[in-house]
A and B are shown apart, each in its own frame.
Chain A
Amino acid sequence: MTHRRSLIAATAALGVLPRIALAQQRFASLYVFVPAGPGGGWDGLARAIELTARQANLVGSFQFENVGGAGGMVGLPRFLSQRRGRADALMIGGSVMVGAALTNKTPVSLQNTVPVARMTEEAGVIIVPANSPHQNIGQLADALKANPRAVSVAGGSAGGTDHIILGLMLQKLGRQPREASFVAFPGGGPAQAAILGGQVAAGISGWSEFSEQIKAGRVRALATTGERRLDPGVPTLKESGIDVVATNWRGVFGAPGINPTQRQALVDLMTALHATAGWRHILAERGWEDAFLTGAAFDTFLERDRSETESVLKDLGLA
């Protein structure tokens, strides 16, 4: 696995090396705000951006600030008020913040920032314990359709990405999201343990958290939630007739009050960073899906993501 990845990275590096040499520094310094504690997914993205930008000499120096809590909702107001109009400030964010703003009914949301780029995404996966009677997604869907309460599904906290995926599935199956028998666990470890131990009928989680368990045959993957298959043997929900596409995406946002030229400079920086071999190497090494999207397309995506999330959360009674 690791060998194949470094091979891909090495081939990629050979082709792109000359271009890196030509890249000129775009920002003397950049301030990166991470609305989560050190060590998590958003922090990991921030550090990866730093590493790549330094290697390619796109940015002179970096300054970081971590303010974690409530799915980013503690940090967001601080970024909005303290960095207003700053052209060299970036905030890391993602799908979790869309849901957190709605469930916590906060006065500010991602809409108050200036979207720059979506960088990575991770599709969810629906799994069952290895000894489960459900062999494919169709059987699980039938069980959910018949009586959602009898199918306990483990995942992260209520109102989070996993819960929203289950809600969207029930909507498409013609049931009410609030009929779900969703068992929330704090963090990935305890949820995985409950699924591995067969305590629940099924589970929903990020693909990377379960990819190794699936490979080892400890759990069975029934479907993934992205646009494309992540594993040739595992269908997506969409191709299985349940029209749900939901991923845990991460991206970068600019401070409010910057003008279109300043926004474009940040977009150009991320575009240049995305084109480096170093970035491709990091994507391969971390197992992140490339989900690069900027400009109007990113704005449209954000709007759709927000309205879909809101409709499920409303049905769940959480927004």
Chain B
Amino acid sequence: MDSLSGLALGFGNALTFANLGWALLGCFLGTAVGVLPGIGPALTIALLLPITFSVNATGAFILFCGVFYGAMYGGSTTSILLNTPGESGSIITALEGAKMARNGRAGPALATAAIGSFVAGTVGTLGIAFIGPVIVEWALVLGPAEYFALMVLCFVTVSAVLGASALRGLTSLAFGLMLGLVGVDLQTGQPRLTFGVPELLDGVNVVLVAVALFAVGEALHMAWRHHGGKQEVLEVGRLMLSKQDLRRSFWPWIRGAGLGFPFGVLPAGGTEMPTMLSYYAERRLAKPEYAKEFGTTGAIEGVAGPEAANNAAAAGVLVPMLTLGLPTSATAAIMLSAFQSYGINPGPLLFTQQAELVWTLIASLFIANVMLVVLNLPLVGLWVRILKIPVQQLYAGILVFATIGTYGISNSVIDLVILYTLGVVAMFMRRFDFPVAPVVIGMILGPMAEQALRQALTISQGDWSVFVTRPGSAIILGLAVLALAGPRLYGAIARRA
């Protein structure tokens, strides 16, 4: 079946009253779990798994896909309004988004995130429908050596988020790398930095750390620095995008989507790397008159690009799942187990043996995407009202949600101890101007880079030249050198001329 007739069949199936209902329910649930800090789509779908006993396969998967896409939309909301990313893919969005909200531009930030998510979701879903099976074959060519090279490239771009003081930024990054080491080492099975606490053997959850550093840290810092008496309410400016905002957002959306989708398809890609690379690219490419907004008043490009990259990567994650049956993310793994409870074995033959289900699923992704942008744009007006809540009540509420969310997910007191310990650390980091984003980035990239390096060296029997003799790895490392030295060389040449 070719893609177009497949899509036609899929839309025919998806546009029934019941299936549209499942899609709407999924979008609504997904947006809600995306907004709540700590609860992600993987857990939500896992908790919904028992419905597979009573609902047909098409309905269940439409619901799950709605949750998955919805969570990607919702995740940016709290990042922008409250500087508290609910999932790791929207950490970068918080960098510029929260600054825009502080400066009365919460509306345009939310709008560019929503429309960017729509653009990227559409690009990503088109990618799944038309080039998925081809691009996944290319993705398989990349091995651990190439992944390590990609991590090196990401580490170079991290410099863009280190903040004003490189020493403080690097300190934060090192703290994140250390947190990433906690747990049983994958390659040797040895526990590291666990201090005999069994709860630490699986490592520290990245989302937990993000909630602790951003939400709890921010709330505690507010409480500490708050001077009684005056009620602080942030100003809310215009809600929609101006013509200028639209012009400034357009190319970042496209670039973000183009960058995000292939990373999502990579078996060890994920949503974090493309958001970092997109942020770096937008910061470098910004027009001189807007470049000064980065890190100060908040640049809209820094929201539009990463948010589009995040959503396109999320769509890309579905490609290896649907075309090869490979679960490359937690959410995809849970969806695969749902396939199995219908007696469907996902694999390379899924597209041919279950063509109707797969195409209905892809069609419902398009539908969910439209539903979400229709659902989320009017919500912008509602969301920004959150900022009208006096900060004391607002942050007290955030603390309650973060605490309930953390304990509710894991039933673990240790997680609560980590939440508040890191929250206090983050409070002091804010007080002494240490940026918190590099902590989370170090924690995500560090273990990935370490494992990729050691996997590559095990395969090459300890031969380090593998990183330059494999063409893919050599090209990516070359790009990293260019990103590191290029601007300086260019500057030196420009000065001499």
Contacts and interface: CB of A to CB of B under 8 A. Distances in A.
A39 B45 contact: yes
Given A39-B333, A212-B346, A186 B320 contact: no
Interface stretch (A87-95, A134-142, A152-160, A293-301): A152-160
A183 B348 CA distance: 24
A213 B325 contact: yes
A38 B46 CA distance: 6
Which one of A37, A66, A199, A318 has the greatest number of beta carbons of chain B within 10 Å?
A199
Nearest to A69: B202
A51 B344 CA distance: 19
Contacts of A187: 327, 333
B343 A5 contact: yes
Interface string A179-201: 00111111111101110110110
A269 B184 CA distance: 37
Interface string A272-284: 0000000000001
A311 to B, nearest CB: 16
Interface stretch (B3-11, B141-149, B216-224, B425-433): B141-149
A150 interface: yes
A215 B349 contact: yes
B326 A157 contact: no
A184 B186 contact: yes
B185 interface: yes
A132 interface: no
Interface string B390-413: 000000000000000000001110
Contacts of A104: 184, 191, 198, 201
Interface in B282-322: 320
A51 B49 CA distance: 13
Contact of B199 (A5, A74, A286): A74
Contacts of A218: 324, 348
A159 B189 contact: yes
A189 B326 contact: yes
A216 B267 contact: no
B345 A1 contact: yes
B140 interface: yes
Contact of A158 (B187, B327, B341): B187
Given A67-B411, A187-B333, A218-B348, A158 B186 contact: yes
Contact of B337 (A39, A200, A212): A39
B199 A47 contact: no
B140 A196 contact: yes
Nearest to A193: B267
B46 A190 contact: no
Contact of A181 (B42, B188, B191, B461): B461
Interface string A1-34: 1100110000000000000000000000000000
A180 B276 CA distance: 37
A285 B344 CA distance: 8
A149 B460 CA distance: 10
B15 interface: no
A182 B199 contact: no
Contact of B184 (A1, A43, A157, A192): A157
Contact of B459 (A51, A67, A73, A183): A183
B422 interface: no
A208 to B, nearest CB: 7
A106 B333 contact: no
A213 B347 contact: yes
A40 B337 contact: yes
Contacts of A200: 459
A143 to B, nearest CB: 14
A38 B48 CA distance: 10
A40 B187 CA distance: 22
A286 B343 contact: yes
Interface residues of B, number: 59
A48 to B, nearest CB: 9
Size bin of chain A's contact surface: 35 or more
Contacts of A39: 42, 45-46, 49, 333-334, 337
A74 B201 contact: yes
B187 A184 contact: yes
Interface in B179-197: 184-191
Nearest to A319: B189
A212 B189 contact: no
A69 B327 contact: no
Given A2-B344, A6-B343, A70-B198, A158 B189 contact: yes
Interface in A252-285: 284-285
A158 B189 CA distance: 5
B288 to A, nearest CB: 42
Given A286-B340, A286-B343, A192 B326 contact: yes
A37 B461 contact: no
B144 A199 contact: yes
A77 B341 contact: no
B459 A285 contact: no
A286 B334 CA distance: 14
A216 B348 contact: yes
A60 B209 CA distance: 41
Contacts of B344: 2
A118 to B, nearest CB: 21
Nearest to A44: B337
Nearest to B147: A190
Contacts of A199: 143-144, 459
B333 A197 contact: no
Interface in B345-388: 345-350, 353
B53 interface: yes
Nearest to A196: B140
A190 B267 CA distance: 6
Contacts of A5: 343
16 contacts: A1-B353, A40-B337, A67-B411, A69-B199, A74-B201, A158-B186, A158-B187, A184-B455, A189-B329, A190-B267, A192-B324, A199-B144, A216-B349, A286-B343, A316-B189, A318-B189
Nearest 7 pairs of A and B residues by beta carbon: A212-B347, A193-B267, A197-B140, A39-B46, A159-B189, A199-B143, A70-B201
Interface of B: 42-43, 45-47, 49-50, 53, 139-144, 184-191, 198-199, 201-202, 267-268, 320, 324-329, 332-334, 337, 340-350, 353, 410-412, 451, 455, 458-459, 461
